[in-house]
Structure 1
């Protein structure tokens, strides 16, 4: 891993919960650094097995120690000392109970709630398991039993006097819980972070077989993807009414955005990824600039410790002269682990001069340093070339214009945990982005026309050749301190962090022979407190950001989760009911162009304020039918202000400059459901209603951007459905996306103008047949119904596309 972000321990659909551990009795301190293995107690510090994940998982936390073991804060307090001594004396006759909590496949379960109960059911001691599923507490030397429970699993009980260490196996529920690392900068169950989170696991990536991340994100409540035509076109993500530059994008904790938040998803692939998380709502309290509406995190695959070298290779081809292939390898050798992948995609697409070529190489490697530290490296590079024919639905294509992008990112993280209650991480990364947009031949003039509409004048081509070189240095230090973990006080985790971003850019106009350098250094400090009890979780965080462009800004965030109803033992018809709420503020720095542009027609403004957001949400999650169905409903209310746009400063010369002049709001609701009615069948779906409005327009004279209008290119209604089925060697997946009408513009001066985009829907299908355990035949069909639509106006999307291929494992 190339940055501070910790790693969830389990891949696929297995429950991945954040580890906590400690003494169940405030007066009993467990032996320091204890590990349980086959009935013996050995120091964990020298035992490399503490990092073993489940055989099927590829990601896990870098922590090697049982965090959260109970320890008292050393305060100069006589009362605290006396209380400690008195408690120790009263517990002298207590027995020590230790063990491991696993699922029914043997995978350890962090953060399971473990209790010691007497014969009448009275609680004697309680705590949460640590990252390796271990627990240790003192229980009275009497007849008792130990009960372990965790949302998404069936509870289990064993006797205290069973062979030590105890091994408690919990049955996996059909709809399991997942762990996220993005919502709190630490591992936490998705149901306990208080924010809306969508996770695409390794199993989801395998079922969907979607080449591009943007198409995967279409299956996220509250998210809208707009791509200018076929794959390779400019691709934007809008979340809950926010602008496309309001999403922080991370790779293993490394920021990928351009300075100012812009991120083009056009060529970002799913290759060599283990999971993808998207957390909705303002997250600037943890991540600073750009996290105004969401954070999207990509997590690279990682080999399981002890895994033998292996991998896979695939190739497929089909419609539009499409060819896609690649391979990946992963393995371990002693304390080392590695994972590498390479892939390529080539397609001619539908329109002239719209061919798309992309190549991606990625990798991760790590080494265990002693028993308490880990060094991890991560890297990813991508090269893209595609033609840019323009709005071919309205006129002739531009036959020579093209766009090229070459980016690379690399980072290193040192993760150190000297004690069970303290963990620290230091990281450094560098991301480099080169972009070229070129049109050296002026094509003949044309008159736009479409469906009986025609422009009153001709459009002429113009030449351009721009090149942008962007670099971002990112350094981070984070410390996690476990303040407590016992039945009386709950579990308390304090996180302190400091981040530095050094942004460097050069904007070149090659035809004019000009170059504009830009430099900006930003520093942010973070504090977060997570308080966890069996039925309540509270999170409070805040950040102070010092930005070279706008100065200092403070942004808080808070979240709460309440378990209003516990389903109880077994597969209850009405399972857990969780209520959640969160609120936060977001900030976004100006882009390099907005701050530094020397052009008189869009002159930069060094005095710009940050764009700001205020987001609030509240929701409910209900599990029913023995955990075979999970239903979620969330209401949200967002407000975005200080939007940056140009304003004319000299009408005679058409000069303009950037100013903070916009205000918008967006509120609505998200509904999501996940069902597993049978072991071989899984279906999930979502619907989003978005009530958006422009309050203060950045272009009040524009028909589509006038005050009172819906936000541009953000649909009022949208939804998705995804169904998977498997039996024997056959697996199939069907996914659909519905996009309601939204405000748009033809931007071609058509008369009468087109001011609204009609609704559309698409369906994609995937089928695989395992010929042997290591070989499978693949078939993919995009746009099964052969829908003919534009996305957005003027840019025809691909019609039905079929690909057939083969995948080999080794």
Structure 2
């Protein structure tokens, strides 16, 4: 295919056609703006285009701007752990390595997106994304899609997709800013400016965060701090009614202190180690609408890069490890309205991933390329019923091809008061560059695969004052990649691998129940809750852990949120999260005890543009761990001011 001819010809063609650029793809500026302004009624992640949530057959949760501001969370992970089907484990305080498990899948099997751009780290061992350094900053919306979605989002989408949308351009000039401070020298400042001038709309922002933190090691006494500064930008240029250009960027720079295993005892405890992480995300897209907006096209280039380094002030030289992971993606996506009842989404992608590591006496350089094509058809055969089905094929330059399929349906017999949902989905994850080419790499690895289904119902009553939902899910994962220890002189896969290697030897099964409830008994009071029952087991034949629960995935968790606005304008609220026991081989008796956390918050508007707010986290000083041996913050109080113009 001659991409240069296509990129030139399509804009010329649109100049002769009356068209409008509406309902663009999930990465286009118009779709992101529409979703950000629509609260929880529109989603872009499920179909890679903006669609009403009642027409989506998959389970999806939306955290809109109002919810994010109301809960006052600093990190994305703290919001995700309040979502049905999601559990979180963090090594220490803010900035520590953080794993997000969706429906019991591995954290590396979660696709993370910033404004629709995939941000996984090719230099990490599993090729996934570390949520530990992702602050709320200017993120205005989070969509959490639960269940495999590799047909539309490709590799890693076995557990689900987390799409974080930053503040988008607005018609009028708007300014949002906040600053806060509190416990252990914690302070942050965040600001964003958005507006439109003629054909150009833009949103630009930045932020800074610092804290002295808490000890990363539970037995430690010195504090391990964290510092982060970053920026975000989104610019849309309307070249014509039917043609626009999107330019977007995201930057984050963090330094995190952590603890390690110092000589002579090599026991886990206080050390002078720290890490530095720099992340770049860049995107450029051309949006073209044809045939009066019924055929919408997006051509895009995206590049992400993560630079990581670790240091130990007690060693010479101090730098102990350095890594760089880079992804470059060329994308085409088309959306066609064949008629009022039939819509099609299709596209092609080319991704090149690169890895560089230097540490522990070895230097690694690796590269992999993957091509992908996909298509999905959505049909509304009768009023209230939407049925979608799709297929994807990817070709990897190391292991060959992988094909996945999915189907889902949503039916509402009464205009959205009752919504029945069901879906079948397949997922896959390519072996990471480290698993293929690292010190223990195996170039014959196959992709991890999964297939599963879910079914659920959402019921609304009393003009939206009550909304309840329930979903049952089941997933089987095969060809999971695990490290295999090798004895001296062993043959087969262990030939010339005296310390071990990776192989497709593991299987897992996850099933469970997700419940959600939202109440507004009176205009001033909102109550919401989420409950998850999870049965996630190791099903690897011959494994000593066969039939046991997967590590760090609690079988039960529940979160309740309540907020009340008093007549004087004061708002008070609280969050209570209860998490059950989970397994962790490093913990005493191999088990992490469950815990209950309570947070309280308050806010008060001084004027139309100025609001004071504050919160107390871990109100009762609960001592707990989400990863064995790692400390967690105790009771902490924060206060701040928020400005809106």
User: Do Structure 1 and Structure 2 share a fold, with TM-score over 0.5?
Assistant: yes
Alignment-derived partner of residue 776 in structure 1: 611
How far apart, in 2, do the equivalents of 1:785 and 1:407 lie?
Answer: 36
How far apart, in 2, do the equivalents of 1:692 and 1:62 lie?
Answer: 34
Alignment-derived partner of residue 524 in structure 1: 372
Deviations 1:683-719 (A, max 9, x none): 1111111112111169x35xxxx11111111000011
Are residue 371 (structure 1) and residue 211 (structure 2) matched?
Answer: no
**Residues 424 and 566 from structure 1, CA distance in 2 versus in 1: closer, same or farther, beyond 3 angstroms?**
same
Deviations 1:355-406 (A, max 9, x none): 11111111111111111111111101001111111499x9663321112110
Shift of 1:108: 11
**Residues 538 and 391 from structure 1, CA distance in 2 versus in 1: closer, same or farther, beyond 3 angstroms?**
farther
Are residue 469 (structure 1) and residue 324 (structure 2) matched?
Answer: yes
How far apart, in 2, do the equivalents of 1:646 and 1:234 lie?
Answer: 20
How far apart, in 2, do the equivalents of 1:773 and 1:566 lie?
Answer: 39
**Residues 783 and 607 from structure 1, CA distance in 2 versus in 1: closer, same or farther, beyond 3 angstroms?**
same
Which structure 2 residues correspond to residues 383-462 of structure 1 after superposition, within 5 A? Answer: 383-390=253-260, 397-419=269-291, 420-439=293-312, 441=314
Question: Which among 573, 577, 580 is matched to residue 733 of structure 1?
Answer: 573
Which structure 2 residues correspond to residues 474-489 of structure 1 after superposition, within 5 A? Answer: 474-485=329-340
Larger fraction in strand: 2
Alignment-derived partner of residue 6 in structure 2: none
Question: Which among 40, 43, 54 is matched to residue 191 of structure 1?
Answer: 54
Alignment-derived partner of residue 591 in structure 1: 432
- Contact persistence 2:514–2:530 (CA under 8 A): yes
Structure 1 counterpart SS, 2:549: coil
- Contact persistence 2:98–2:131 (CA under 8 A): yes
Shift of 1:318: 1.0
- Contact persistence 2:178–2:191 (CA under 8 A): yes
How far apart, in 2, do the equivalents of 1:693 and 1:326 lie?
Answer: 42
- Contact persistence 2:260–2:271 (CA under 8 A): no
Deviations 1:238-277 (A, max 9, x none): 0111011110111122110123541100111222222110
Question: Which among 28, 31, 45 is matched to residue 61 of structure 1?
Answer: 31
How far apart, in 2, do the equivalents of 1:670 and 1:429 lie?
Answer: 35
Alignment-derived partner of residue 139 in structure 2: 273
How far apart, in 1, do the equivalents of 2:520 and 2:419 lie?
Answer: 20
> What is the TM-score with the length of structure 1 in the denominator?
0.71
- Contact persistence 2:552–2:626 (CA under 8 A): no
How far apart, in 1, do the equivalents of 2:486 and 2:140 lie?
Answer: 50
Alignment-derived partner of residue 650 in structure 1: 487
How far apart, in 2, do the equivalents of 1:196 and 1:391 lie?
Answer: 42
Question: Which among 627, 642, 645 is matched to residue 807 of structure 1?
Answer: 642
Question: Which among 618, 630, 643 is matched to residue 795 of structure 1?
Answer: 630
Question: Which among 672, 678, 682 is matched to residue 522 of structure 2?
Answer: 678
How far apart, in 2, do the equivalents of 1:426 and 1:193 lie?
Answer: 25
Alignment-derived partner of residue 347 in structure 2: 497
Which structure 2 residues correspond to residues 283-362 of structure 1 after superposition, within 5 A? Answer: 283-305=149-171, 307-308=172-173, 310-351=174-215, 352-362=222-232
Larger Rg: 1
Are residue 201 (structure 1) and residue 64 (structure 2) matched?
Answer: yes
Deviations 1:726-773 (A, max 9, x none): 2443223322221100111236xxxxx421111101122221111122
**Residues 617 and 374 from structure 1, CA distance in 2 versus in 1: closer, same or farther, beyond 3 angstroms?**
same
Shift of 1:654: 4.4
Structure 2 counterpart SS, 1:650: coil
Q: Which moved more, 1:499-508 or 1:773-782?
A: 773-782
How far apart, in 1, do the equivalents of 2:19 and 2:384 lie?
Answer: 33
Structure 1 counterpart SS, 2:66: helix
**Residues 365 and 649 from structure 1, CA distance in 2 versus in 1: closer, same or farther, beyond 3 angstroms?**
same
Alignment-derived partner of residue 577 in structure 1: 418
Alignment-derived partner of residue 446 in structure 1: none
**Residues 578 and 396 from structure 1, CA distance in 2 versus in 1: closer, same or farther, beyond 3 angstroms?**
closer
Alignment-derived partner of residue 559 in structure 2: 720
**Residues 479 and 45 from structure 1, CA distance in 2 versus in 1: closer, same or farther, beyond 3 angstroms?**
closer
Structure 1 counterpart SS, 2:270: coil
**Residues 261 and 613 from structure 1, CA distance in 2 versus in 1: closer, same or farther, beyond 3 angstroms?**
farther
Shift of 1:208: 1.3
Which structure 2 residues correspond to residues 526-605 of structure 1 after superposition, within 5 A? Answer: 526-532=374-380, 533-563=382-412, 565-566=413-414, 576-597=417-438, 599=439, 603-605=440-442
Shift of 1:326: 2.0
How far apart, in 1, do the equivalents of 2:37 and 2:113 lie?
Answer: 28
Alignment-derived partner of residue 745 in structure 1: 585
Deviations 1:491-516 (A, max 9, x none): 1001110011111111111x52x421
- Contact persistence 2:600–2:616 (CA under 8 A): yes
Structure 2 counterpart SS, 1:258: coil
How far apart, in 2, do the equivalents of 1:191 and 1:325 lie?
Answer: 37
Which structure 2 residues correspond to residues 80-119 of structure 1 after superposition, within 5 A? Answer: none
**Residues 254 and 177 from structure 1, CA distance in 2 versus in 1: closer, same or farther, beyond 3 angstroms?**
closer
Are residue 620 (structure 1) and residue 457 (structure 2) matched?
Answer: yes
**Residues 274 and 59 from structure 1, CA distance in 2 versus in 1: closer, same or farther, beyond 3 angstroms?**
farther
Structure 2 counterpart SS, 1:696: coil
- Contact persistence 1:59–1:274 (CA under 8 A): no
Shift of 1:177: 5.4
Shift of 1:477: 0.5
Q: Which moved more, 1:648-657 or 1:253-262?
A: 648-657
How far apart, in 1, do the equivalents of 2:552 and 2:127 lie?
Answer: 19
Unaligned 5+ residue runs, structure 2? 1-13, 216-221, 490-496
Which structure 2 residues correspond to residues 249-268 of structure 1 after superposition, within 5 A? Answer: 249-259=112-122, 261-268=127-134
Structure 2 counterpart SS, 1:715: coil
How far apart, in 2, do the equivalents of 1:257 and 1:396 lie?
Answer: 29
Are residue 223 (structure 1) and residue 91 (structure 2) matched?
Answer: no
- Contact persistence 2:309–2:319 (CA under 8 A): no
Alignment-derived partner of residue 630 in structure 1: 467
Structure 1 counterpart SS, 2:483: strand
**Residues 729 and 375 from structure 1, CA distance in 2 versus in 1: closer, same or farther, beyond 3 angstroms?**
same
Which structure 2 residues correspond to residues 147-166 of structure 1 after superposition, within 5 A? Answer: none
How far apart, in 2, do the equivalents of 1:414 and 1:693 lie?
Answer: 45
Alignment-derived partner of residue 119 in structure 1: none
Shift of 1:282: 0.7
How far apart, in 1, do the equivalents of 2:295 and 2:18 lie?
Answer: 15
